[in-house]
Amino acid sequence: MKTAIITDSTASIKEGEIQDVYVLPLQVIINGQDTYRDGKDIDYDRVYQLLKEHPQGLNISTSLPRQADLIELIEAIKDKYDRFVFLPLSKGLSGTYDMIVQAVKPLSTPKKEFVVLETSDIAISLKWLVQEVKALTDTNCPTKAIAEVVDQHKQSIFTAVTVKNLVQLRKGGRISGLKKIIATLLRVKPIIFFDKGVNTLSGKAFTFVQALEKIFTFVKSKFGDNFKIKRIGFCNAFTPVKAKEVKALILDFLHTNKITLQREIESSFITSAIIAHTGIDAFSISLLLDKNK
């Protein structure tokens, strides 16, 4: 059985980067009228520059992938594969999952299986999930077992995003718990926890180190003392120099607090669809945890 995996452009995967993995672009909309496909018609550098030129906020939003792009992709690859596994970003952030389900539901046959799995994920940790599922499909793993692995992954991931301000997040409507504490966040770094597939404004910090302390305090409260970090990801919307400085702070924090890693920190690019909501000078830490160690 040959399997295609289809994810979307928020997964930090470039087209052609992983064999048999295909990327469906979300849409980026500027000024309510100019529409671009994430990673195809517009990229991170262009959106970064636009955000930099509009420090008070840019009228930019995102939308579902075009259904026409989905159908075109399926038509292009349908004869090459027997099974199609879709791993879109969290349905708590986007209607992409529901759109794909409606589009491919009529296509499944005994000879062509179409499977859409809810990931509760985004960005580099969604890429990790794609890599894990790819390894399974390479061994002809049954669909039921793949779905179980996806469910286990959802229970083992956590992402925290620290942003410069809430300008773009407010414009994009991608965050809850905002009204009660917005007035207190004028001069601090808001911290957003992405947990169970949704964003929640969970704290604030004056420094990057303080943000890290809050992040790992939450991880400990959620997962307990007996866990190990299997993978850690660092995504950012900084200049290269600042990105290097913040990554060094993260490493120093982990070392000082005797938090051991099974791998080095993995850095990944942010897509235009994500920076449209975070704004510039934001970073995220994604963790894949082994809770049983």
Compute the average pLDDT of residues 9-20. Answer: 95
Q: Is residue 106 a part of any domain in this protein?
A: yes
Does one domain contain both 128 and 256? Answer: no
**pLDDT tens digit sequence for 230-287:** 999 999 999 899 999 999 999 999 899 888 888 899 998 889 999 998 888 889 999 9
Kindly report the pTM of this predicted structure.
0.91
Give yes or no for a contact between 163 and 169, defined as CB atoms under 8 angstroms apart: yes
Q: How confident is the model at residue 207 (pLDDT cuts 50, 70, 90)?
A: confident
Does one domain contain both 196 and 149? Answer: no
Does one domain contain both 216 and 237? Answer: yes
Give yes or no for a contact between 279 and 51, defined as CB atoms under 8 angstroms apart: yes
Whole-angstrom distance, CA of residue 223 vs CA of residue 206: 25
Give yes or no for a contact between 60 and 30, defined as CB atoms under 8 angstroms apart: yes
Long-range contacts of 133-142 (CB under 8 A, 24+ apart): 133/5, 133/85, 133/87, 134/5, 134/18, 134/20, 134/21, 137/3, 137/5, 137/20, 137/83, 137/85, 140/1
Q: In this predicted structure, what is the pLDDT of residue 269?
A: 82
Q: Is residue 204 a part of any domain in this protein?
A: yes
Q: In this predicted structure, what is the pLDDT of residue 179?
A: 46
Kindly tell me if the per-residue pLDDT of 148 is higher than 60.
Answer: yes
| Lowest-confidence segment of 9-13, 58-62, 73-77, 205-209 by average pLDDT | 205-209
Q: Is residue 83 a part of any domain in this protein?
A: yes
Q: Is residue 286 a part of any domain in this protein?
A: yes
Q: In this predicted structure, what is the pLDDT of residue 19?
A: 97
Q: In this predicted structure, what is the pLDDT of residue 284?
A: 93
Does one domain contain both 229 and 282? Answer: yes
Q: Is residue 47 a part of any domain in this protein?
A: no
Give yes or no for a contact between 201 and 165, defined as CB atoms under 8 angstroms apart: no
Kindly tell me if the per-residue pLDDT of 16 is higher than 70.
Answer: yes
Whole-angstrom distance, CA of residue 152 vs CA of residue 284: 22
Does one domain contain both 138 and 221? Answer: no
Determine what percent of the chain is predicted with pLDDT higher than 70.
91
Q: How confident is the model at residue 169 (pLDDT cuts 50, 70, 90)?
A: low
Q: In this predicted structure, what is the pLDDT of residue 183?
A: 38
Q: In this predicted structure, what is the pLDDT of residue 184?
A: 44
Q: Is residue 200 a part of any domain in this protein?
A: yes
Q: How many domains does the chain have?
A: 2
Q: Does 94 carry a binding-site annotation?
A: yes
Whole-angstrom distance, CA of residue 218 vs CA of residue 203: 10
In DSSP terms, 251 is beta-bridged to: none
**pLDDT tens digit sequence for 111-141:** 999 999 999 999 999 999 999 999 999 999 9
Q: Is residue 261 a part of any domain in this protein?
A: yes
Does one domain contain both 216 and 74? Answer: no
**pLDDT tens digit sequence for 17-67:** 999 999 999 999 999 889 999 999 999 999 999 999 988 778 899 999 999
Does one domain contain both 197 and 276? Answer: yes
What CATH number corresponds to the domain at position 101?
3.40.50.10170
Q: Is 226 helix (H, G, I), strand (E, B) or coil?
A: coil
Give yes or no for a contact between 6 and 119, defined as CB atoms under 8 angstroms apart: no
Does one domain contain both 144 and 11? Answer: yes
From 154, 187, 204, give the residue that closes a domain.
154
Compute the average pLDDT of residues 166-191. Answer: 57
H or E element in which residue 23 lies: strand 21-24
Kindly tell me if the per-residue pLDDT of 171 is higher than 70.
Answer: no
Q: Does 12 carry a binding-site annotation?
A: no
Q: In this predicted structure, what is the pLDDT of residue 225?
A: 73
Please provide the average confidence, as pLDDT, over all residues in the chain: 89
93 vs 171: which has the higher pLDDT: 93
3-class SS shares of the chain: helix, strand, coil, % to 5: 40, 25, 35
Three-class HEC string of 259-279: CCECCCCEEECCCHHHHHHHC
Does one domain contain both 137 and 262? Answer: no
Q: In this predicted structure, what is the pLDDT of residue 17?
A: 95
Q: Is residue 161 a part of any domain in this protein?
A: yes
Give yes or no for a contact between 44 and 288, defined as CB atoms under 8 angstroms apart: no
Q: In this predicted structure, what is the pLDDT of residue 56?
A: 78
What CATH number corresponds to the domain at position 251?
3.30.1180.10
Q: How confident is the model at residue 187 (pLDDT cuts 50, 70, 90)?
A: low
From 154, 186, 220, give the residue that closes a domain.
154
From 106, 131, 154, give the residue that closes a domain.
154
Q: In this predicted structure, what is the pLDDT of residue 88?
A: 98
Q: How confident is the model at residue 203 (pLDDT cuts 50, 70, 90)?
A: confident
Please state, in angstroms and as integers, the Cα–Cα distance from residue 22 to each residue in 19, 118, 151, 291, following that order.
8, 17, 21, 31
Give residue for tokens 């994009």.
172
Does one domain contain both 141 and 15? Answer: yes
In DSSP terms, 21 is beta-bridged to: 5
Structural domain for 146, as ranges: 3-26+64-154
- Axis-axis angle for helices 96-104, 67-77 (nearest 10): 50
The torsion of the CA quartet 232, 128, 19, 47, rounded to 10 degrees, works out to -70
165 vs 195: which has the higher pLDDT: 195
- The sign of the dihedral angle between the CA atoms of 97, 101, 107, 112 is positive
Does one domain contain both 166 and 281? Answer: yes
Does one domain contain both 207 and 149? Answer: no
H or E element in which residue 195 lies: strand 189-195
